[in-house]
Amino acid sequence: MVRMKLWLAPLHGITYYGFRNCFIKHFQGIDAAIAPFIAAQPKEKFNPKKIQDLFPENNKSIIVIPQIMGNIPQNILETVNVLTETYGYKQFNWNIGCPMNTIVRKKRGCGIMPYVDLIEEVVNEVCGKSTVSFSLKMRLGLSTPDEGLDILQRIAPYPIDFLCIHPRLGVQLYNGTVNLDVFESFYHLTNHKIVYSGDIDSLPFFMQLKNRFPKIEHWMLGRGILKNPFLAEEISTQERLDFSLLKTRFIVFYNEYSELLLNLKNEKIALSSLKELWHYFAAFWKLDALELRELLRINEYHLFQKKVRESVTF
């Protein structure tokens, strides 16, 4: 039996190498991560300065799989080849699931899901002309599950490493609930390994998923693990952890990561990054909407950190 593995989701603007490394240092249970996407480029336009997140020296603490965004088969293959030849990567993930309008309207991310011929062309290009492990991160479809089902049938003959499936349509963005009934049809249709991704935010919900989909051994944690950084530990041990014992560990992590942000960025950028995180951390500290709103209104780094300490009794 394959050991269960927990993945850290690629959250654009958040889960870059500084966050990943600091998070893994302080919280247990995560086995691997997919990096936030980079745009596919022809070889002659490839700029290493834009991919520091993937430098091997920045990723010694966890297995990291580069994620590629794009819709031109040759550009995707050339990006794979450059990252393989230059940095030694052997696994790659193609994002055909991002639901953001700025991505979708360019026929990228989830916007490519209605174009099954183009999807097969990309898969055939990479699988046929390279020896890397190639995977897809997808949704049920852009506007209908038929799109996702067509994709599964079309790519069935190809040696896809895994399919990371989020059980929403692209038009839903992150609204509403995951559609587990439709996901179940995907689960039964494909013979490819599935990594489940979507709304895992508690041990009880994870157990519900695990019992319903027993063949799945790989699970991706995204927004849920930001709302509770100890979620992977709870899932791994199948025990609810005592909040009072976790506060100190969170504070140590937060202080270290805040300092890291200041060293990597300036105060303005560090503040923006911390504000983004506190949309999620507020759930862990049980801040209500008014408390969070007051925190996010602060536009000076040191005043923001002072308010954080007051709000959560550091």
Average pLDDT over residues 178-183: 98
232 and 270 assigned to the same domain: no
**End residue of a domain, out of 237, 265, 287:** 237
- Asked if residue 61 lies in contact with residue 25, where contact means CB atoms within 8 angstroms, the answer is yes
Tell me how far apart the alpha carbons of residues 15 and 25 are, in angstroms, rounded to a whole number: 14
Please determine, for residue 312, whether its predicted confidence score (pLDDT) is greater than 90.
Answer: no
12 and 49 assigned to the same domain: yes
- Asked if residue 287 lies in contact with residue 279, where contact means CB atoms within 8 angstroms, the answer is no
249 and 294 assigned to the same domain: yes
284 and 305 assigned to the same domain: yes
Burial 22-51 (b: 16+ CB within 10 A, else e): bbbeebebbbbbbbbbbebbeeeebeeeeb
Average pLDDT over residues 145-163: 98
Q: What is the pLDDT of residue 311?
A: 85
DSSP string of 157-208? TS--S-EEEEEEEGGGTT-S---HHHHHHHHHH--S-EEEES---SHHHHHH
44 and 139 assigned to the same domain: yes
Please determine, for residue 2, whether its predicted confidence score (pLDDT) is greater than 60.
Answer: no
Return the closest-CA partner of residue 213 out of 193, 230, 232, 228: 193
Q: What is the pLDDT of residue 314?
A: 64
- Asked if residue 161 lies in contact with residue 134, where contact means CB atoms within 8 angstroms, the answer is yes
For 306, residues 6+ apart whose C-beta sits below 8 A from its C-beta are: none
Q: Considering its fold, how many domains does the chain have in total?
A: 2
Percent above pLDDT 90 for the chain: 91
**End residue of a domain, out of 183, 211, 237:** 237
52 and 93 assigned to the same domain: yes
Please determine, for residue 28, whether its predicted confidence score (pLDDT) is greater than 90.
Answer: yes
Q: What is the pLDDT of residue 48?
A: 87
Average pLDDT over residues 268-284: 96
Q: What is the pLDDT of residue 1?
A: 42
Average pLDDT over residues 246-254: 93
Output the pTM of the full model. Answer: 0.94
Q: What is the pLDDT of residue 241?
A: 77
Q: What is the pLDDT of residue 6?
A: 98
Q: What is the pLDDT of residue 33?
A: 98
138 and 179 assigned to the same domain: yes
User: Which residues constitute the domain of residue 260?
Assistant: 243-311
Tell me how far apart the alpha carbons of residues 165 and 243 are, in angstroms, rounded to a whole number: 31
**For 43-47, 129-133, 159-163, 280-284, which range has the lowest pLDDT when averaged over its residues?**
43-47
**End residue of a domain, out of 237, 261, 278:** 237
Average pLDDT over residues 228-248: 88
**CATH number of the domain that residue 168 is part of:** 3.20.20.70
144 and 181 assigned to the same domain: yes
Average per-residue pLDDT for the chain: 95
274 and 212 assigned to the same domain: no
148 and 217 assigned to the same domain: yes
230 and 273 assigned to the same domain: no
151 and 283 assigned to the same domain: no
